[in-house]
Amino acid sequence: METTYLLVGGDRRQFWLSRLLVSRGRVYTRAVPGLEDSLPPGPVDVLVLPTPCLDGAGLLRTAGPGLRPEALAGFWDGRTRICGGALPADLAARFPGCGPAADLLADPQVAAVNGRLTAEAAVELARERLEGSLFGLPCLVLGYGRIGKPLAELLGALHARVTVAARRPGVRAEAAQRGFAVRDFPGGAGESAVIFNTVPAPSLSPAALEALGPDCLWVELASEPGGLPEGLRPGFPVLRANSLPGRRLPRSAAAALLEGIVRKEAFH
């Protein structure tokens, strides 16, 4: 029997995911950017919620006003599996009687791809903002994890002068083995021309940032609340770059989500 999917809301990732899922079954959509609604006649096999799932008001995220789960009433039952990104802890209460759920952003391979895509998009955004090359520029990467590692590697490949800041000695040692300059938190930012922050908490003081040149660019990649300290001087150049895979590389991000869905045993 043909598998049925209902894709809900989200960004351009959902648009591309709808195209990719056509080869696996029957695809319906509700509030997906770029697509007309096509609602199923009854409960579907798989309900694909947005990535990330909720907006700031706690509703299912769409390009417009968020959706309440009640807007999807009649499209799920006990056999309906749910997937999406950053699913809320109370998902079962929002979709009572639904089947098992899978958080795609918790899939290590999806997270790794998203990290690489974020790094690629962040570099492009920084070059656009600077209107110049990163070749030879001193760049500071705050954090050396899922995003920080591929970001440092990409910056190094572009011949930027890369310094990695990390708290754990073992992580700093790993970065040093890759050829990067390293330092601990807290500390100054040196002569950095671009600071890429991947740490979701302040890691530099306002005084450290005040010591930087007027053209130093801060690229904020961390999830909320981010890593900017309070009390920055007015006009400090900040490029807020959250959710880059969905904003800048949605087709590639959708392919990663599809692979995550396929990997989940419940969806085979």
Per-residue pLDDT at 148 exceeds 70:
yes
pLDDT digits (tens, 9 = 90+) for 234-262: 778 889 998 899 999 999 999 999 999 98
Domain definitions of the chain by residue range:
3-106, 114-245
pLDDT digits (tens, 9 = 90+) for 158-180: 999 999 999 999 999 999 999 99
Average of pLDDT values for 86-105?
Answer: 94
CATH class name, domain 3-106:
alpha beta
* pTM value > 0.85: yes
CATH class name, domain 114-245:
alpha beta
Same fold across 3-106 and 114-245: yes
Average of pLDDT values for 6-25?
Answer: 95
Per-residue pLDDT at 97 exceeds 90:
yes
List the alpha helices (DSSP H) in the chain: 12-21, 91-94, 108-130, 148-157, 169-177, 206-210, 244-248, 250-263
Per-residue pLDDT at 181 exceeds 70:
yes
Token look-up 């030879």 returns: 136
pLDDT digits (tens, 9 = 90+) for 191-211: 889 999 999 888 887 777 777
Vertex 169 angle, CA 164 and 172, to 5°? 25
* 130/107 Cα distance (integer angstroms): 34
- Residue 114's identity, in one-letter code, is N
